[in-house]
Structure 1
Amino acid sequence: MKCDRESLLLYAVTDRRWLGADTLPGQVEEAIKGGATFIQLREKNLDEGRFLREAEEVQQMCRRYGVPFVINDNVGIAASIDADGVHVGQSDMEAGDVRDRLGPDKIIGVSAQTVEQALLAEERGADYLGVGAVFATGSKADAVEVDHDTLNHICRAVKIPVIAIGGIDKDNIDSLAGSGICGVAVISAIFGAGDIRGAARELRTAAEKMVEV
């Protein structure tokens, strides 16, 4: 699956805390129908068996709609189901080792909070960077806040696409215009919404306007 700037416009990261009576594949489908262009499966508390089954189900949904699908952190499961790729943080497997494990054609995303981290990730083979948290967020307890000047510097320092993450919603997304990012990654602004499809649609429109500036 191709990873380009357009596919990273509205990057939706799953979070099962808002499932309720829904299923995760069902929520993912609603997000995609609303305009999500990329899906990351993020699970921190499932055992490997349940995680594997869920990953396969979400992958099938993404393939149905032709949307790139990566797994957060778990390189083993990404390899076992032939996912489109994986996203790793600074404390996870290093990008070069992920590339060695998954091969040259898989998508590798890396979280970065500094220019130095961004340049190293690019050098080691990352396809895109996720930079944040650009706003305060409750979705990730250990999130490090990244000021907008640093975000701008990272975008100018690397050649690979950069997306912003952390606390982004329809009310603050426009403040990221002109930073150099090609898209935004969101969690609660989509999956915590009562109307997932409608929230994704609104964010997709806002993201398109933001990157045009």
Structure 2
Amino acid sequence: MLRLYLPFPLSGKCRKMHQMQARRRIIDANLNRAREAARVLEDIARFEVESGLIASSLKRLRHDIAALRRADNPIGARDTAGDVGTEISVPEEASRSGAADIVAANSARLEESLRVLEENYKCENAGTAEKTEQLRYTAYRLGAVLLRQINIRPRLEKVQLCVIVTDSLSRHGALETTRRAIEGGADMIQLREKELGDGKFLGLARELRELTRNSDVLFIVNDRADIAAAVGADGVHLGADDLPIAAVKKILGPEALVGATAHDMEELTRAVEEGADYLGVGPAFVTETKPHEPVRGLGWIREAVSGAGIPCFAIGGITAANIKEVVETGADRVAVCSGVISSENVVNAAKTIRFQLPDINRETEE
């Protein structure tokens, strides 16, 4: 029979004190692990992804973890010399393959540490355990958003001109207009149809999907995740009244791009924190497609593209005549509708706009 012996016999009172001391050491160790992991993620968000919003959210999380220590500091229980776990390691800890691997490892470390804290706080303070549970959910969400940005960014990093296609506004019909827009330099096509019946919408989406696939151009469907899924689109662009981003990702799968529209910093922050892969920010000018929508102006474009930390497409009334003003805000991506598809010469309209955008592809290669 296997028998386990403690190094010394413990009376009931001593046993209770030993258990309390052990729990204090567990809490101390996991507070440290959680803060360290949060700091790693924060720096990846800040320097690798260059997202001030994600970095700020991770910083707030790190400070909330620090507040747990300030409220009940267990450092007095620390016994590094007597910790039997300091010599334990596994080979996988010795190397990382890149930023995505670092994020995945430290997200797991953060989540695990917060779970350990939550369970041990349940023995001491139910309120603190509940706070820790909420921090754990926040860690899940922020870790997923950060990893998503690292993994999805290569698909968007070379995309600069998104042409939004609506059949009724297309002078040459949606299919031919799309073909000409791609010839003019569009590297993303977004199909936006508010009035077509489902059957016609689906048929048009299939035609555009085939064209864009053959042209190696991204294809996005506006609003309709069901249509996007049916035709195998690259993603969907959501408005304020559409399905939540998380729900759409469940429908379309992890590889799909999900964009959102932001008219102000509150909408922008919410979209980034909910996991949007890119943003349409505007309107920059009065737009023919939404003439009653308040113009947010170039100041908003400047604020958005400098602070979002994820790809932003300036949108709203952009044409070859005003694209220079848009570029001066720092925008290097635009989404254009009437300014291209309603033109007599779609190819030239697209080329003129694309030519005036800063060449981020060349900068990336250099």
With the length of structure 2 as denominator, give the TM-score of the two structures. 0.54
1:71 aligns with 2:221: yes
> Cα distance, 1:211 vs. partner?
11
1:6 aligns with 2:158: yes
1:194 aligns with 2:344: yes
> Of Structure 1 and Structure 2, which has the larger fraction of its residues in helix?
2
5+ long unaligned stretches in structure 2: 1-151
> Cα distance, 1:4 vs. partner?
1.5
Given candidates 25, 30, 44, the residue that maps to 2:194 is 44
Instruction: Give the SS at the match of 1:164.
Output: strand
> Cα distance, 1:83 vs. partner?
0.7
8 Å contact kept, 1:181–1:211: no
The 5 Å alignment of 1:19-98 reads: 19=170, 22-98=172-248
Task: Name the structure, 1 or 2, with higher relative contact order (CA <8 Å, separation 6+).
Answer: 1
> Cα distance, 1:178 vs. partner?
4.2
> Of Structure 1 and Structure 2, which has the larger fraction of its residues in strand?
1
* CA pair 142-108 structure 1, distance change in 2 beyond 3 A: farther
> Cα distance, 1:150 vs. partner?
2.2
Q: Which amino acid aligns with 1:132?
A: G
Instruction: Give the SS at the match of 2:309.
Output: coil
8 Å contact kept, 2:264–2:300: yes
CA-based RMSD: 2.1
8 Å contact kept, 1:134–1:165: yes
Given candidates 342, 352, 355, the residue that maps to 1:205 is 355
> Cα distance, 1:141 vs. partner?
3.8
Q: Which amino acid aligns with 1:116?
A: E
1:24-74 deviation per Cα after TM superposition (whole angstroms, max 9, x unaligned):
211101110111111000101111111001000011000110000000001
> Cα distance, 1:94 vs. partner?
1.9
1:108 aligns with 2:264: no
Q: Distance in 1 between matches of 2:293 and 2:336?
A: 14
Q: Which amino acid aligns with 1:6?
A: K
Q: Distance in 1 between matches of 2:318 and 2:308?
A: 22
> Cα distance, 1:179 vs. partner?
2.7
Alignment length (residue pairs): 210
Show the counterpart of 2:51.
none
Q: Percent identity?
A: 33
Given candidates 173, 181, 204, the residue that maps to 2:323 is 173
With the length of structure 1 as denominator, give the TM-score of the two structures. 0.91
Q: Distance in 2 between matches of 1:210 and 1:4?
A: 11
